[in-house]
Structure 1
Amino acid sequence: MTIAPSAAASDDSHCVYSVTTGDYACYATLTDATSQGAKQETSALAAADIIGATVFEHRDYGGSSLTITVPEPCPKNDKVDFWLDLDDYWQNRISSVQAWSTCWVWLYPDSGDRAGPYKDNHPEVGAYINDRTVTVGLS
C-alpha cells in the first residue's frame, strides 16, 4: 500500500528515497517499502535502484524507517558517493541503521562532524550521534 506523498513523513511510516530520482514513496510496512513489488508500483524509484541503507527512528530497528536506494553498489574509493540531506521529519531522529550493497553509512550532525562508518547492522548508533543526524552519506 502506497501512502500519499503528503503523508510521506509521518509516524510509523516506512519510506523509500531514490538517490537517482530524488523522489520518495511511503508504505504502511517496512516489508512493503523494501519489497520488489512495492518498488515496481511507484514511479518515485528508478527501476534499477538497489538498497544502499535503511535508517530507523528508534533503537533496535524500531519506529519509522527510511530506505535509501542508489543506482549501483557503493564503490570503495575513499569518498562519500551518495548524500541525503534529511527533511524536517527525519532530522534528529535516527537511532539505528542497516548498511546494504557494499555501502557504508555515515551520519552527520549539524556541527559538521560525522559518525561512522557503519558497515553493517547497528541496533544503536551510539550516544554521540543518536537523534542528532541531519545528513546521511553512503560510501
Structure 2
Amino acid sequence: MAPIRTDARRHRRGAAVAVSAAFGALVALPLTAAPAGATQTEEHCVYSAATGDHTCYPTRAEAQSRAQDQGSDVARASGEVIGAVVFEDENYGGSSLTITVPEPCPKNDKVDFWLDLGDDWKNRISSVQAWSSCWVWLYPGSGDRAGPYKDNHSTVGGHINDRTVTVGLS
C-alpha cells in the first residue's frame, strides 16, 4: 500500500493514478483472490498514516481494538486515532481497512491525508465510516471524486461503488 500523503505534498490527480499503479504492484495489502470454487476469507486490516505500517487481523473487532491500542505495532504513534474505516461490501460487510491518522482531521478546507490504494483494495469499497472529525473522499481512476462522507454510509452510491483507487481524509 502506498503511504498516505499529507497536505505538504499536494494531490495531483494524474500523478496519483500513476503512483497508485506503481506502488500497488509493489506494496499492496496481502489480500489474495480465492481459488475458483472457494470462499474468500475476510481480512480486516489497519493502515497507519504515522508509520506507513499495515497489519491484518481475522476480525473487524480485533483490527479496531488494535487501531485504538496505543501500544500496538500499527498505532504506536502517540495520539494516533482512527480516521476512517472502508468496507468491501455494503452495510459495512466483508473485508475492512481501518485508516489511522496522527490526529483528528482539522477542518481547514483541505484534504489532509491521501491514501493510494494497493491493487488488492482498488475498486472494492462499497461502504464507509468517518471517524475523529475526518470526512472521507473517494476518488475513482477518472479523476473526479465522491464525498465528503461525513459520517457512516452503508452504501457509497452507484457512481463510486467498487470504483475507488484513492481515499482522501479532510
TM-score (norm. length: structure 2): 0.74
Q: How does 1:8-87 map to 2 (within 5 A)?
A: 8-10=30-32, 11-36=41-66, 39=69, 42-47=72-77, 48-87=79-118
Corresponding letter in the other structure for 2:31: A
1:15-74 CA deviation, whole Å, 9 max, x = no partner? 000011111001010100011587456423333310000000000000000000000000
SS across alignment from 2:123: coil
Paired-residue identity, %: 68
**Which is richer in strand?**
1
Q: Structure 1 pair 17/111, CA: closer, same or farther in 2 (3 Å)?
A: same
Q: Is the 8 A contact 1:109 1:132 kept in 2?
A: yes
- CA-CA distance at 1:9 after TM superposition: 2.4
Task: Please name the residue that 1:109 is paired with.
Answer: 140
Q: Name the CA distance, whole Å, in 2 between partners of 1:98 and 1:38.
A: 15
Equivalenced residue count is 134
Corresponding letter in the other structure for 2:52: G
Task: Please name the residue that 2:166 is paired with.
Answer: 135
Matching of residue 91 in structure 1 with residue 122 in structure 2: yes
Q: Which runs of 5+ in 2 are unaligned?
A: 1-27, 33-40
Corresponding letter in the other structure for 2:115: L
TM-score (norm. length: structure 1): 0.89
Rg larger in 1 or in 2?
2
